[in-house]
Chain A
Amino acid sequence: MKYALYPGCAGEATTEESLKATIKILEVLGVDFEENEAFSCCGAGIVEEEDAEFELALNARNFALAEQDGRDIVTICNTCLMTMLKSQKALADDAKLFEQVNEDLKEIGLEYKGTVKIKHFLWMLRDDIGLEKIESLIKTKIKDVRMAPFYGCHIIRPADVISDDKEPDFISKLIKVCGALPVEYRDKYNCCGFHILLADEDTSLKMTQKCLTNAHEDEADMLVTPCTLCHISLDCYQGRANKAKLPEVPVLHLGQLLGLAMGITADELGLDKNVISTEQLINY
């Protein structure tokens, strides 16, 4: 299988460590992937508030570019995933829209056929690589750490767009394979508050704080997330969210977790860029 890696705007800037770690994992797994310098932002479901047609066109263009290279799209951002799947669904459901978008794409020498598959990195690991192969690559088990999965919203909801497992548990399986202890965590499918961080920081950080407090309640030492945006709220903004001055909860991006267990160096996984230090929990 061939992939076009779609990091999303955050993965390329604020949380570049998640991208760095993901690339490392893809290399270790021997996945045929490429980054595409022509990919644009997906619009994040925000451009659609002002101009739905433009958001659709942005996505159709990215899809066409991936199809041109014969690659499926794999992303590490939940919101990119949802926005792309939503656009794909809109184009699949409405023949007129499909035609119109293709008329526009023709003007820039592209065509969207509707064949490209869009996947989250987590789904790719589960469906295309498989737990067994991942397990075979684990070198140093992470022992005695209680880890809670934090899936985030846009890898689950809305269910008619994200036609995947409504109650996923693959992160817990990965945590286990890496040698750590998966925690049953009440906020695993809840919202980190990221999308209103700028519109209403106070409310956003209260949502983040709730997730952190519950991590303590459920006795998690660490959180693991597959999403670059959850990573921003939970890790980068934890200091501001943690008004109750609870002990810090380190947060790993999924790729960083796998990388640590696969014996990849902290440096190569960008662990120095995580705002909340992971050092005290993992000896690397």
Chain B
Amino acid sequence: MATDLHQARWKKGAWYAGLGALALLVLFPVYMTIVRALSQPRAYVQAGQPPWPVHPEWDVFTRAFTDGDLGRKFLVSAVVTVCIVGGQLITATLAAYAFTFLQFPFRRLLFFVFMATLMLPIEVTLIPNVQTIRSLGWLNSYPGLITPFLATAFGTFLLRQGFRGIPRDLLDASQLDGFGHLAFLRRVAIPVTRPVVASFGVIAFLTAWNQYTWPRAVVTEGRWETIQIGLRTVATQTIDRNNVGFAAALLAALPILLLLIFLQRQLVRGLTTGAVKG
């Protein structure tokens, strides 16, 4: 008994040490970005690029906003991200529901075809999609930035996995109670799979917020640049002011950081359990 406990404690210690090392590895670039954001660029190079700030300039963050017009870019990114996440949550939930609970001809085949789109990297669809958007006159516009991402095979797959854990009897009981499919979805399916829905929401947010290739392709005017595109503009201005670029990068990552902190518990539950207990 005692030795078992002892061993368990050792094991736990080893785990924590390992995880701690990994965390350091992951956090190091973030730390260096903070260092570079705070250091005066020329002084930092002269000091031999040490892993701590040199000649801190505290106004870089406000300068990032004014110099890089980050306010406007944040707004564009926020609108695009919220619309994409909202749209994906709606379409993925409905599609996953249909693929799980409804009977219709060619259901398996359709699901398979739908999932196959997961295999196509964005580079493959980029050119035809840009042409479509251009012919619709949607370059440099919200519809152009948002529409191609309103449906998601990945989200549909993830939510379907969650829904499949819901016992069929619950749907039957809900029907006897007089609720239709939409009511069942809203009252039972989504609440019961909330961790999965929340993790998908976070992943969708992350992906949408960090998009780069697509906005680059359909935006030609500075006014429609998203934050990630804007970073590039800020960063490439001059070497002298690269600390502003680093500061802007930190600001751009802030919403995601906040989201992860708020939804941390949901996210972990969603990714580890996924299924629903009966």
A and B associate in one complex: no
Interface residues of A, Cβ cutoff 8 Å to B: none
